[in-house]
Amino acid sequence: MGADIAGNNELSATVQSRSVGLKMYNIIVKNTRGKGVQALALSAYADKQGFYGCTFVGYQGYQVYGKCYIEGATDFIFGQTARALFSQCVIRISGDGWVTANGRDSSLNPSYYLIDKSSIAAASGYTGVGRSYLGRPWRNYARVVVQRTVLSNVISGAGWSQWSSSSPNTDHVSFQEYGNTGDGASGARVSFSSKLSGAVNPKSILDGDTSWVDLGYVYQ
Catalytic-role residue among 75, 105, 183, 214: 75
Nearest-angstrom CA–CA distance, 132 and 156: 6
Per-residue DSSP letter, 142: -
**CATH code for the structural domain at 3-207:** 2.160.20.10
SS3 201: coil
Which pLDDT does position 39 carry in this prediction? 67
CA distances from 45 to 24, 72, 184 (A): 14, 20, 32
Average pLDDT over residues 46-52: 70
Phi/psi for 128 (5° steps) reads: -65, 130
CA distances from 214 to 31, 39, 219 (A): 26, 29, 9
How confident is the model over 128-138, as pLDDT tens digits? 999 999 999 99
Nearest-angstrom CA–CA distance, 20 and 210: 14
How confident is the model over 85-106, as pLDDT tens digits? 999 999 999 999 999 999 999 9
* Catalytic residue flag (residue 75): yes
Q: Which residues contact 5 (CB under 8 A, 6 or more apart)?
A: 12
Q: Given pLDDT bands bounded at 50, 70 and 90, which one contains residue 55? A: low
Identify the top-confidence range among 28-42, 50-64, 185-199, 204-218. Answer: 185-199
